[in-house]
Amino acid sequence: MIKQAAYAVEPWCVREQRLNLDTLAQSESVFALSNGHVGLRGNLDEGEPHGLPGTYLNSVYELRALPYAEAGYGYPESGQTIINVTNGKLIRLLVNDEPFDVRYGELRWHERLLDLRAGTLTRTAEWTSPAGDTVRVRSVRLVSLVQRSVAAIRYEVEAVDEKVRVVLQSELVANESLPGGDNDPRASAAVHNPLVVEESVARDRGVVMVHCTRESGLRVGAAMSHEIDSPDGHIDTDASEDVGRVTVATSLEPGQKLRVVKYLAYGWSSQRSRPALHDQVIAAMAAARLSGWDGLLREQRDYLDDFWDGADVEVDGDPEVQQAVRFGLFHVLQAGARGERRPISAKGLTGPGYDGHTFWDTESFVLPVLTYTQPRTVADALRWRHSTLDHAKARAEQLGLAGAAFPWRTIEGDECSGYWPAGTAAFHIGADIAQAVTRYLAATGDEDFAREVGLELLVETARLWRSLGHHDAQGRFRIDGVTGPDEYSAIADDNVFTNLMAQENLQSAADLAERYPVQAEKLGVTDEETASWRDAATDMYIPWDERLKVHPQSEGFTDHAPWDFENTDASQYPLLLHFPYFDIYRKQVVKQADLVLAMHLRGDAFTDEQKARNFAYYEALTVRDSSLSACTQAVIAAETGHLDLAHDYLGEAALMDLGDLEHNTRDGLHIASLAGAWTALVAGFGGMRVQDDRLSFTPRLPGGITRLIFRMRFRGRRLKIHVTAHEATYELLGGEPLEIGHNGDTLALNGGAVSRPVTAPPVRPEPTQPHGRRPRRRAE
């Protein structure tokens, strides 16, 4: 587990001041670089030692069998697992025949720095070999946010005390050996030697390699090229099936340096030929060399300057959270910046956890952040969902349903979950996608997207709900046998979250079909069908426990026996690894925010008093065995007046990976939890909501935060919101005038700053958590 002290607390970077081999895999995830298309884990340049080698291309996967003890109708037959593609990060160094290996000799100095404004990973080291020869090594690595296929490394070695002979080997390596897996279901299935070589060509100071996956039939191209600044020496280039290498040998006097700039280009396709893919990576390499190293750095900084201008968050009073929220925003951006109609997975491209699958996390946690900071990436992610509609419609038909049944976990569009109670039955993902569409449209007004993509997504998901639910004898529309966000309560009737999200989905589909009648007619939508959607939405059954005056998470949930929290040891969390599901499913215990998440995403469906009572009730049951929970609990804690508790949950969400709180950061970052830090601050303490396409705020700060400033984008405007304990100031930084809400009042922003007082929340009794599961106090 990474202790927070492993990284210096700084506002704009993450700095590791010494190398800790025990937490190497976790740091590789923290220092990963990506652009949504190419992902490089933060492995050491020389490749060894490593925790998990990792070079990923978005949606490049291999098929694997899903074994079942007892097969059943509709079970997915095969799974998809992200693979480690050709590794271009490798730069090996020999000093007077001794390999530079941090495990040998003396590592006098070692520092790595992730610069959140420059978008680079810098490594500096001073090392004395077992033979007593000392060198300084400095490398800077980037994955371009501007040139989608390109990564680059600048590597420099300097002789310190005496003349040394150095040999640098820059490599492309396919089918690297991977460490064995473990029994944690959150980890990935290891796929060994997935790539079959089709081409491996060496040319002057460069190599091009093309491979094809054995089962999924995807073609992967990788290329490297070098600029070498060296005293006189020898340069050689060679390539075999799975290894391409450029070797530089020279002698360095004290103070002399060998400098190498390594350009990398990646591409893949399920359809293009080997020559076409070869040419694609060669062209990307040419563009990278046209920019040059300095040009790539400038492009990266300009891109990030523009991003931070409309996304930055400033937090006074909690420097750890200040660092963490920017770290989270940076990785959320990296996960989707150049995905371009590909999915954003639960781990982004930082590691192989969850087999590289995308879940509902993307639409419900990641896309809300990008909607208000980098909206173009949201359109791309939803266009990917739209591109998989045929898969979703085929799955619905297989299940005897109409419309589209989107997969619980997938890479390419087919369901990859072998456990149907938590997978197939979690139909809420369709409504999560629909809400992401309506949120994007409200925030951008993108009419082309609405006509081309949004309407069909809403229509097909609405059709699913109309066929999945039914009207009972009392005229109530009910949805039975589903799994909500809380995976500790599977196959439940009338899950409140699911029903409320489906209700909004049905209503939004009817509204959008009415708005675009020509396009709706092409999709076969009739007036009778939209009327049936509106009827189902109006009649949607929302369970209520009159005795407790709370909403049961699902029908009958509050009648279940409570979990024995007092006799559950801290070592037995997460419960799913220590108790049988049949026992968990029949008790009142909540893995993650479910009813509480409904109060955030469908806050209009609850009164203030209901929110307060519901929150208090479910606080005592929620164990947060999911990284998705803390940010939502922070939002509703803030809304119901528990500001210090909200601050505690904010810290948990923000530090999920910098502190390795779930003990699995080694497999990749928790992108949704990192996004949740922004949500906890902006939607929690900023009180930001969008209702009827109008942006509104109800700001309030905990005692541990003295000032909160955040920037965001909305309908072509850039806004800056400045909150202190007593006052909120709203400023329009760019775009046309805009009306917003503050504590229910309307404010007109015409270019100047407008300030209003902050009102204190009502005082309520502090809720309790399950024994041993209270979040760590931020004030301590």
In the numeric block, which tokens belong to residue 104?
């040998």
Give the pLDDT confidence of 737-760 residue by residue, as tens digits. Answer: 999 999 999 999 998 899 999 999
Give the pLDDT confidence of 506-527 residue by residue, as tens digits. Answer: 999 999 999 999 999 999 999 9
Give the pLDDT confidence of 34-74 residue by residue, as tens digits. Answer: 999 999 999 999 999 999 999 999 999 999 888 887 878 88
Catalytic residue flag (residue 460)? no
Residue 400: CB atoms within 10 A of its CB come to 9
pLDDT band at residue 188 under the 50/70/90 scheme: low
| pLDDT of amino acid 734 | 95
Predicted confidence (pLDDT) at residue 1 exceeds the cutoff of 80: no
| pLDDT of amino acid 191 | 76
| pLDDT of amino acid 780 | 62
In the numeric block, which tokens belong to residue 609?
């008093």
| pLDDT of amino acid 4 | 47
% of the chain residues with pLDDT over 90: 93
| pLDDT of amino acid 185 | 55
| pLDDT of amino acid 29 | 98
Give the pLDDT confidence of 476-503 residue by residue, as tens digits. Answer: 999 999 999 999 999 999 999 999 999 9
- Average confidence (pLDDT) over 107-123: 98
Give the pLDDT confidence of 321-340 residue by residue, as tens digits. Answer: 999 999 999 999 999 999 98
The whole-angstrom separation of Cα 378 and Cα 384 is 10
Predicted confidence (pLDDT) at residue 181 exceeds the cutoff of 60: no
- Average confidence (pLDDT) over 143-166: 98
Give the pLDDT confidence of 82-105 residue by residue, as tens digits. Answer: 999 999 999 999 999 999 999 999
- Average confidence (pLDDT) over 234-238: 95
Q: Which of 638, 462, 649 is nearest to 540 (CA)?
A: 462
| pLDDT of amino acid 187 | 56
Sign of the alpha-carbon dihedral angle for 689, 693, 694, 695: positive
- Average confidence (pLDDT) over 718-722: 98
Predicted confidence (pLDDT) at residue 584 exceeds the cutoff of 50: yes
Query: Is residue 726 packed enough to be buried (19+ CB in 10 Å), middle (13-18) or exposed (0-12)?
Result: exposed
| pLDDT of amino acid 312 | 98
The per-residue DSSP string of 404-427 comes to ----SSBSSSS---S-TTTTTT-T
Predicted confidence (pLDDT) at residue 229 exceeds the cutoff of 80: yes
| pLDDT of amino acid 5 | 67
Do 507 and 534 contact (CB within 8 A), yes or no? yes
In the numeric block, which tokens belong to residue 640?
């119901």
Predicted confidence (pLDDT) at residue 431 exceeds the cutoff of 80: yes
| pLDDT of amino acid 69 | 75
User: How many angstroms separate the first and last alpha carbons of the chain?
Assistant: 20
Q: For tokens 């400098």, name the residue.
A: 259
pTM for the full predicted model: 0.96
Q: Which of 523, 588, 514, 516 is nearest to 552 (CA)?
A: 588
Predicted confidence (pLDDT) at residue 184 exceeds the cutoff of 80: no
Query: Is residue 751 packed enough to be buried (19+ CB in 10 Å), middle (13-18) or exposed (0-12)?
Result: exposed
- H or E segment at 289? helix 274-309
Q: Where are the alpha helices (DSSP H) in 602-722?
A: 608-619, 629-639, 643-654, 671-679
Predicted confidence (pLDDT) at residue 691 exceeds the cutoff of 70: yes
Q: Where are the alpha helices (DSSP H) in 523-642?
A: 527-538, 581-585, 595-601, 608-619, 629-639
Predicted confidence (pLDDT) at residue 342 exceeds the cutoff of 90: yes
In the numeric block, which tokens belong to residue 280?
């694609």
Edge-first strand order for the sheet with 313-316 is 313-316, 707-714, 717-724, 727-734, 753-757
| pLDDT of amino acid 71 | 79
Catalytic site residue from 16, 158, 456, 487: 487
- Average confidence (pLDDT) over 224-249: 95
In the numeric block, which tokens belong to residue 234?
């020898």
Quote the mean pLDDT of the chain: 96
Give the pLDDT confidence of 695-704 residue by residue, as tens digits. Answer: 999 999 999 9
| pLDDT of amino acid 3 | 47
Per the document, the length of the chain is 780
% of the chain residues with pLDDT over 70: 98
Q: How far is CA 534 from CA 466, 531, 538, 587, 749, in A?
A: 10, 5, 6, 35, 36
